[in-house]
Chains A and B, each alone.
Chain A
Amino acid sequence: MELAVFVAGAIVCLLGAVGVITSENPVHSALSLVGTLIGVAVLFIAQDAEFLAAVQVIVYAGAIVVLFLFVIMLIGVDRSEDVQVEPLSAQRAAAAVLGLVLAVGLVTIVSLGSVTGTPGTADVADVAASNTEAIGRVLFTEHLLAFEITSVLLVIAVVGAVALARYRDAAFVDAEHPGDEIPEPVVEAETAEVSQ
């Protein structure tokens, strides 16, 4: 039974992932992503991690993909992109072969290898305790530092978005003649305010 659930979840995951990179329309890519995320949620349930599965569906499949779709619609890239460009000849074939080698190697290793580590104590200690409680305990004890510094990533996301979204007032400096020398502009008054 567990194997059947795993296989079903894995197939959904992989099909979604393939769909993300092969769809010519970004909207289709975003929708394929939902398949991958739901598949991961199924795998979480197969591992008795109900809390993670719920979070996966609510946050990722729900909120984040909707946000993706919003952005795709807002900046107007909801049209087909040409994904057939191949800057290096035969790079797709090479990537496919190398990817296959890596996949076969990993599958072999994981099926021949065995889990030698002792299981974590978080869920063993109290079988009756809920999944959510166990995760909460681990986050605030063993992995407190990792949990706390994750917040820095959120700050970077905000600052990074602001940094990349501003300064668009002037023309590209290398769009027309890459490598050409750019003429020195007229020096502006020292106190000139930056136009917001």
Chain B
Amino acid sequence: MKNSSTTATPHPLEDLVRMDRIPHIWCSGCGTGSVFTSCLTAIKQSGIPYNQFAMVSGIGCSGRGAGYINIDSFHTTHGRAIPFATGIKMARPDLKVIVFSGDGDLCAIGGNHLIHAARRNMDIIVICVNNLTYGMTGGQVAATTPFKAKSSTTTLGNPDTPFNLPLLAYAAGATYVARWTMLHARDLTDAVQTAIARKGFSFIEVLSPCPVNFGRRNREKSLDTLRKYHENTIVKNGAHPSELDVDFNKGVILGTFVNVDRPTCDEVYRKMYWPAEEPKEQRKTG
């Protein structure tokens, strides 16, 4: 048989996905599903039992991620994914808490929570799916929309400078900062795995196409965006975060930029306020 299209074999990730909710809402050509797949693959390959994970999402297209994953997950109010994740982490420090959300949710409405979680070195993994626009609400200009890019509210081009998210995370004190695109799926999976294995605030920005609300207004189909990700990106690990602005004309720099160790919030808090409870914590994780 040439092509087993009517396969009875289940997809390898079906144990991690709520299959009753598939097909998901993401449009044809949307990169969020690819980022989600990379994230699930990293969770699967880490070998850690699934009940040791929790996923938190905010509002937006990528915020639906928490609804599709078949582990403990939380779909929270707009911009407040990181505070909910902080709560989970402080109550159950043994869990690996992953925040899977979009740029509008994490960096615009929830920008203050992002910088303060980074400052406190909260031990969570933040995966920020950056599609350069507010996709779910109709393609309005976002804090990450590139200079001169068109959106439904800036029809002649965006007059403002976008956020440089790795610089923001680095300046606020994040201990792991990386940026990939959804096309660099293997590097992205490795980055998520590194973030799962380490302690501290990990911020991974993932560029992802939005063909319907961003690409349509800027004359690029999803495969054109992927071609840009392929040809106009430079992998430069350890680059200084100040040179990481998203400008595809001069090339977007990808890689791991920061990876340092610093005591995490829950460790320091526990040591200072509940020194007697340290052994009890050991018992809970075992």
The answer on A and B forming one complex is no
Residues of A within 8 A of B (CB): none
